Amino acid sequence: MSSSLRAHPRTRWWALAVIALTQLVVVLDGTIVSIALPRAQQSLDLSDGQRQWVVTAYALAFGALLLLGGRLSDYVGRKRVFMIGMVGFGAASLYGGFAQQGWELILARGLQGAFAALLAPAALALLTVTFPSGRDRNTAFAVFGIVAGTGAAVGLLLGGVLTEFADWRWCLFVNLFFVAVGLVGGALFLTESRADGDTHYDVWGTITVTLGLGALVYGFSLAENGWGQPLTIAFLALGAALLGAFVWIESRVAHPLLPPRIVADRVRGGAFLIQGVAGAIMIGATMYLTFHLQFVLGMGAFTAGLATLPLPIATMVVAPLATRLLPVIGPRPMLIVGPLLAAAGMLYLSGITPDGAYFLQVAPALVILGVGMALVFVPLQNLALTGIASEDAGVASAVANSAMQIGGSIGLSVFTAVYAASVGGHAQRDVTAQQLTDAYGWTFIVAAIFLVGASVIAVCMVRGSKDELMPAHGELAVAAH
């Protein structure tokens, strides 16, 4: 039998609960501090640029190190890497909660991202090998996709509750609860698995992709000072050159960090690109939504968190319907229509005004966005990992996570550049409510353009019948140890 988890099917659903909890904490940590940023900025005397880096540091470290984390989980053992990532994530959260200076908080967020880069691909790889095929796999990946899709919005709500009724530091301390549950659940219900055969590490591939992604995201973050600035151009060019070198290396080494076969498949590559857009929306665009709720509409942290609820509620209501529809129509129609609906929601949101009513201008947009994102998230994870061999489960899972996190990091940087251009580079305290609203509106228009692009990607790359895109039997041969 390929896996002891398959020998004990009841434990699979407990394992799914542990893995879903892990995904929740990883995704919500990308946004949980967003709604606490005004309080943290005031407490630690952060500049507007440092404020952005509290979010970017997490997404950047996470995205840049995910491929290495995925390969480590394949070689060292997925459960072992999962447990190490849990412990390190908890320690980084504790350090960040006690931060007394801005750089300490930014460093802690980077460390959180680094350990999340171990945790997330190990968890998704465990899910992949635990549910290799059939209806159970569709259900498991739908649950995982819903958690991934709504986690960012849940983070906004939880961050609002903790900031309003406790302290912004509890947005970091709360992770200790998730870590404790994850460690106990992981020990009880997860079964070790790893790749067979040679386990050599691709050192140069690791160096070039990590530095390349880091330079690229940093270059985008500098764009808020102008796209034509020498440093902006230099880092964007350096990032592109290093990633080009990474592609060249991967095509020539015997044991690549990212085997070309994983991303060469057109459908899988399209799924990864769509995930990048989804990350840009759920991490980047939602941060500017919380700014509008607090800085323009004058909501407190808790009220602003509640105000984001239509998004995850709409997603969770529609997701079970989409799950039942998936075997009937297949993933392609969902991935074409879903982003277009979400784009309509962002365009609706771009019409905000300083004195506009929340229930007229914001809530309907979030409902439309939530419906659209449900149609995206339900098929996306499954499609991105269909046909992956056991030895590649960790690194393929890492690419799926990395696409979303790097997309979120780049998206946030692009939206920040759009915002900065709209307010003329002035600090937030020096601009009017109308100028802030106009700037946020432009970020939402750009987000809508991203989503239309995702629909075009689905049309061009996610091609094939539903049976071809969703095979009835998985192709995983899992080696349990």
Per-residue pLDDT, 9? 61
Q: Which residue has the tokens 């080494």?
A: 253
Choose from 36-50, 173-187, 444-458, 459-473 the range with maximum mean pLDDT: 444-458
Per-residue CA distances from 366 to 30, 92, 369 (Å):
19, 32, 5
Does 299 have pLDDT greater than 70? yes
Check residue 108 and report its DSSP letter.
H
Phi, psi of 480 (to 5 degrees): -95, 145
Confidence of residue 372 (pLDDT cuts 50, 70, 90): very high
Does 382 have pLDDT greater than 50? yes
pLDDT, tens digit (0-9, with 9 covering 90-100), for 98-117: 999 988 999 999 999 899 88
Stretch 401-405: mean pLDDT, rounded?
A: 75
Q: Amino acid identity of 58?
A: Y
Cβ–Cβ < 8 Å for 143, 16: yes
Stretch 372-382: mean pLDDT, rounded?
A: 85
pLDDT, tens digit (0-9, with 9 covering 90-100), for 175-231: 999 999 999 998 888 888 776 665 667 888 888 988 888 888 788 877 777 778 899
Per-residue pLDDT, 471? 56
Task: Copy the structure tokens of residue 459.
Answer: 């049309």
Confidence of residue 348 (pLDDT cuts 50, 70, 90): very high
Left, alpha or beta for 181 (phi > 0: left; psi -120 to 50: alpha)?
alpha
- Average pLDDT for the chain: 83
Q: Which residues contact 422 (CB under 8 A, 6 or more apart)?
A: 435, 438, 439, 442
Per-residue pLDDT, 123? 83
Choose from 1-5, 277-281, 396-400 the range with maximum mean pLDDT: 277-281
Count of Cβ atoms closer than 10 Å to residue 240 Cβ = 14
Per-residue pLDDT, 134? 66
Cβ–Cβ < 8 Å for 128, 393: yes
pLDDT, tens digit (0-9, with 9 covering 90-100), for 469-481: 765 544 433 333 3
Task: Copy the structure tokens of residue 468.
Answer: 């071809």
Stretch 1-6: mean pLDDT, rounded?
A: 40
Does 7 have pLDDT greater than 50? no
pLDDT, tens digit (0-9, with 9 covering 90-100), for 242-273: 999 999 998 888 778 788 888 878 888 898 89
Residues facing 193 on adjacent strands = 480
Per-residue CA distances from 178 to 63, 84, 147, 169, 183 (Å):
21, 14, 14, 16, 9
Does 6 have pLDDT greater than 70? no
Does 428 have pLDDT greater than 90? no
Q: Which residues contact 419 (CB under 8 A, 6 or more apart)?
A: 224, 288, 439, 440, 442, 443
Count of Cβ atoms closer than 10 Å to residue 216 Cβ = 25
Q: What letters, b where the CB count within 10 A reaches 16 and e where it falls short, cover 278-309?
A: bbbbbbbbbbbbbbbbbbbbebebbebbbbbb
Per-residue pLDDT, 456? 96
Confidence of residue 71 (pLDDT cuts 50, 70, 90): confident
| Range of weakest confidence among 68-77, 227-236, 294-303, 437-446 | 68-77
Q: What is the dihedral of CA 180, 185, 191, 194, to 10 degrees?
A: -30
pLDDT, tens digit (0-9, with 9 covering 90-100), for 110-159: 999 899 888 888 887 788 777 776 677 777 777 777 776 667 667 777 88
Does 312 have pLDDT greater than 90? no
Burial class (CB in 10 A: 0-12, 13-18, 19+), 91: middle
Per-residue pLDDT, 263? 80
Q: Cα separation of 25 and 10, whole Å?
A: 24
Does 436 have pLDDT greater than 80? yes
